[in-house]
Structure 1
């Protein structure tokens, strides 16, 4: 039986509104909820859908009106409201489907600010390597990174640096875990060709890894 969630503990997701045919953000929230978590997906872009070609780096200009000066206050407002409702602790997960969308970046920032208790990111981008890794180590927040073989923004070299800095050269420690999915590319945890066995295994494996990680470090009672 899956554990029931308490109103004092909350899993936060970063919800990126995309065109209606790209509904994976809501589906992910549903899937986490089915595993016993209370989930809130934050609309970072205030109902302004990403363009159809949002998966391309060239569309980063679209984010010029959605900088951190605009999007971070939305997150902070949601957190303040939830605290007012009695939520005491938060975990956060962030997915990067485009090289310029920054939801996993905010997972790191929330850990830096002492707001979340547990963190999980998949194919992260917009991180300063190795600076952010060193800074994250100081937080003592348990961190899961879902990584892959082909990722231009979190490549093998960055993955190795994460292992050294956060795991002492290991991929699994008490506070750090990095999963690696062969044959997958940036964005694999939320999109891909499900007829490809490796892509399908990567997407499903990344989700299972996050659920397992949160159940270990953020159990719902």
Structure 2
């Protein structure tokens, strides 16, 4: 499920330090210089150019000791950051139409190709997905030959079967209030994943809402504390399972 929370949020200050390149024939933001460890970051609806996620990628590269890639999984379509902060543009933006153009059947083959390209080049690879990207990393996590560990951050469009099939270390960063990763899905994850024989970390963020870890308000102390805890949790998870 997706809703207006997927297209609202706050811009963060800062200038990304990486470069633009390609991965598996797709444009990609790349940051970090580790030759052995890579992380695939699957973006939310604001895509591969989203400043907030590029800043997070820089943090992961430095703090988790990895080369981090954010490929363009929307085939050049850009939802501007202005949409996120402008109520009029948000109202005009057809979220469901956008999701239809970039549904799982269309986009997963491209995401899978990117993950395979990284695995062919790096000895250890992880994947982290924000909102829209959450379902994708869980699907990748069904095959240990493709990825070594996955983290879903307030994931969207997740199906129970995608959680049932996990075969690698898995992390979920889950706010209390989430229209998408619902109480039923949370309960399913916390019931099923511990039976799968894989390391599992569920990190709960009381009082926070869907989108906080990628589009939180930097002027709100509670949200800042949450997004920093989310970043640090992902860093610790990848340091443990990719090194």
Does the alignment pair 1:64 with 2:100?
yes
Q: How does 1:179-218 map to 2 (within 5 A)?
A: 179-218=203-242
Cα deviation digits, residues 37-94 of structure 1 (max 9, x gap): 111112111221125259789512113322334322332443454455x323311000
Is residue 182–residue 198 contact of structure 1 (8 Å, CA) maintained in 2? no
| Cα distance between partner residues in 1 of 2:33 and 2:228 | 23
Q: How does 1:20-169 map to 2 (within 5 A)?
A: 22-35=50-63, 36-50=65-79, 52=83, 59-83=95-119, 86-96=121-131, 101=132, 103-114=133-144, 115-129=146-160, 131-136=161-166, 139=167, 141-167=168-194
Is residue 15–residue 25 contact of structure 1 (8 Å, CA) maintained in 2? yes
CA 1:55–1:11 in structure 2 vs 1: closer, same or farther (change >3 Å)? farther
Cα deviation digits, residues 143-195 of structure 1 (max 9, x gap): 11001111011123322332222236xxxx97011011111000111112223
| Cα distance between partner residues in 1 of 2:48 and 2:209 | 23
CA 1:207–1:50 in structure 2 vs 1: closer, same or farther (change >3 Å)? same
CA 1:17–1:25 in structure 2 vs 1: closer, same or farther (change >3 Å)? farther
CA 1:21–1:165 in structure 2 vs 1: closer, same or farther (change >3 Å)? closer
| Cα distance between partner residues in 2 of 1:24 and 1:112 | 28
Is residue 135–residue 162 contact of structure 2 (8 Å, CA) maintained in 1? no
Is residue 105–residue 125 contact of structure 1 (8 Å, CA) maintained in 2? yes
Structure 1, unaligned stretches of length 5 or more?
none
Match of 1:18 in 2: 46
For normalisation by structure 2, the TM-score amounts to 0.72
| Cα distance between partner residues in 1 of 2:232 and 2:90 | 24
Q: 8-17 or 175-184, which moves further after superposition? A: 8-17
Match of 2:13 in 1: none
CA 1:183–1:110 in structure 2 vs 1: closer, same or farther (change >3 Å)? same
Is residue 144–residue 213 contact of structure 1 (8 Å, CA) maintained in 2? yes
Is residue 17–residue 48 contact of structure 1 (8 Å, CA) maintained in 2? no
- Aligned to 2:192, what secondary structure does the other structure show? helix
| Cα distance between partner residues in 1 of 2:125 and 2:226 | 26
Count residues with an aligned counterpart: 202
Aligned-pair CA distance for 1:209? 0.3
